[in-house]
Amino acid sequence: MNKPLRLDFASLHAAYQSGETTPIALLEQVCDAAANAPAGVWISLVPREAVLARARELQDLDAATLPLYGLPFAVKDNIDVAGIETTAACHEFAYLPEKSATIVQLLQEAGAVVIGKTNLDQFATGLNGTRSPYGVCHNALLPEYVSGGSSSGSSVTVALGIVSFSLGTDTAGSGRVPAALNNIVGLKPTRGVWSMSGVVPACRTQDTVSAFTLTARDAQTVFEVAAQVDASDPFSRVSQRNGSDFSALPSWKLGVPDAKSLEFFGDGEYERLFGESVEAARELGAEIVEVEFAPFLEAAKLLYEGPWVAERFRATKPLLETQPEAMLPVTRQIIERGGKVTAVETFAAIEKLAGLKKRCDLVWQQVDSIITPTIPTGYTVEQMLDNPIQLNSNLGFYTNFMNLLDYSAIALPAGFRGDGLPFGVTFFAPAHFDEPLLHLGGRWQETHSELKLGATPYHLPNAESKARPAWKGAIPVAVCGAHMSGLPLNVQLAERGARLLQKTRSAPIYRLYALPGGPPQRPGMVRVSEGGAPIELEVWSVPIEAYGSFVAGIPSPLGIGTVELEDGSKVQGFVCEAVAAEGAEDITEFGGWRSWLAAKNS
């Protein structure tokens, strides 16, 4: 396979805007990549002619009005796309929809282009990616490992750089488990805020469409487009956009499962990586609070009991009654049990869940969000096929309770085992906290920018580093010298409760000088009319009550003025009087203070 395309939203939009590529040229390449994907990824592809016809239409439209302009996406094959067969990974069940699912229509109206329908665990019943008559969908990074399911093909198409994003569904973890195993972002929105109209149900009261992207910022764009009330979906509800942007506060509270509840099934590397992830969250400002996790795990066990297995049976009852052999044995074994659930058992389970939810919801009085491993360990395809029920269950250890308890969640990349298998974490919060979680995801990825995106050779793009808004009651300030992280004067920011918002660069309209004096020696960034260059910066959010004392301590010839960032936004920041640069050492060629210090001290 050729080098993957760079398809994160920011990079592709920039390529369109600059004229580096066009929708027609790009989608030609995408069609080629899709046609050459590994076996087991796709169930069907949109005809090339139809994809390119849509590309030609887009070239006559205003890209600025379409947030998903020219972005290729894949659709899990239990979600309808007009004119393309929906199979739910079962030949005998297949039908040809006349109209697309509501969410597909919304994404297309925003400029996105469907490339094809992806493989899944049959009837979205499984978390591993091996339960399909269309073949096993292998892990994007280590093919001997499972890709995760049920949204297996959807996750792999994104991880391999074939499409910019994809749709999955999530009932028990199908939008998160594959994200963890393929080093990408998985958004499981609050149930009902994305329409399920035109989606084959697995467990109708618990299902939600989910999204896989390379970045959390991309997931936020998809969320905003798709969060529309749909009168044709009886479970549709308004996205209330609850909650403050808690992870932008100077300090916020993050729950971690109590030690006795954590489970890694003997995977010491995943256990270590989770510990490192908790410390990484602490560096983002989180105050770590251990929470009792037993009620969450008890709730998880209900998903494959009582009414929720009965829902799976109801969704496939006609097929089971007429062609039971059409289902894979493992799928049928799970779903058939639902036909024996009584009304008494159903109401008992509903009552039990209500009690557990009350216990679990008490945790939100203590914390803003909770972090868990997304999965406790990973398995090879061979291991999964040898023990399909138990190992599949293990994959859902940290995911099965989420929809039952009506929570929102985002799965994020967090590192790798020594053998190269990805590790991921999930942050979750109450219903309608989707956007605060997406913002947290963006900050998380910015502090993990060393991780590549999916199985591609690319990292988080610079265009993703637009300044995040300061928390209410604070002022963003750009620093270019000794106030940056790890340098001598950074303590002046830390002791005032300031928070790092982003690492970025200035617009290319400045020169940088090493001013005489010190210690510590200071840089002077001077705006120029010509001959400027981008300069390395950090933007810190300084509480208003501490801003005055911080500014008062800045010695002449430095001061605070307006600094333009490389994305065109403007913030307050350190500037220098031009006269002070006369006779000072011009260090612009180093691109920033750190690089100059490193060269000077080498």
Residues assigned a catalytic role: 76, 150, 174
- DSSP lists the bridge partners of residue 585 as 514
Render 216-242 in DSSP notation, one character per residue. HHHHHHHHHHH----TT-TT-------
Residues 126, 54: Cα–Cα separation, whole Å:
34
Please name the amino acid found at residue 126. G
Q: Residue 407: name the closest of 465, 445, 367, 447 by CA.
A: 367
Q: In which residue are the tokens 């009837």 written?
A: 123
Residues 170, 291: Cα–Cα separation, whole Å:
25
Say if CB 422 and CB 185 are below 8 A apart.
no
DSSP three-state, residue 258: coil
Say if CB 435 and CB 227 are below 8 A apart.
no
Q: Residue 203: name the closest of 220, 189, 191 by CA.
A: 191
Say if CB 145 and CB 378 are below 8 A apart.
yes
Q: Residue 374: name the closest of 258, 214, 263 by CA.
A: 263
Please name the amino acid found at residue 581. A
Starting at the earlier edge strand, list the strands of the sheet with 510-514. 523-527, 510-514, 585-586
Tokens describing residue 294:
């037993």
Report which secondary-structure segment, H or E, holds 211: strand 208-213
Q: What share of the chain is helix, strand, coil (3-state, %, to 5)?
A: 40, 20, 40
Residues 576, 515: Cα–Cα separation, whole Å:
10
Residues 11, 522: Cα–Cα separation, whole Å:
35
Tokens describing residue 163:
């499409």
Please name the amino acid found at residue 498. A
Say if CB 19 and CB 61 are below 8 A apart.
no
Beta 252-257 vs 369-373: how paired, if at all? parallel
**Burial class of residue 259 in the structure, from the number of CB atoms within 10 Å of its CB (0-12 exposed, 13-18 middle, 19+ buried):** exposed
CB atoms within 10 A of CB 555: 9
Say if CB 462 and CB 8 are below 8 A apart.
no
Say if CB 305 and CB 321 are below 8 A apart.
no
- Torsion sign across C-alpha atoms 524, 530, 535, 540: positive
Helix locations, 433-530, DSSP H: 434-447, 491-494
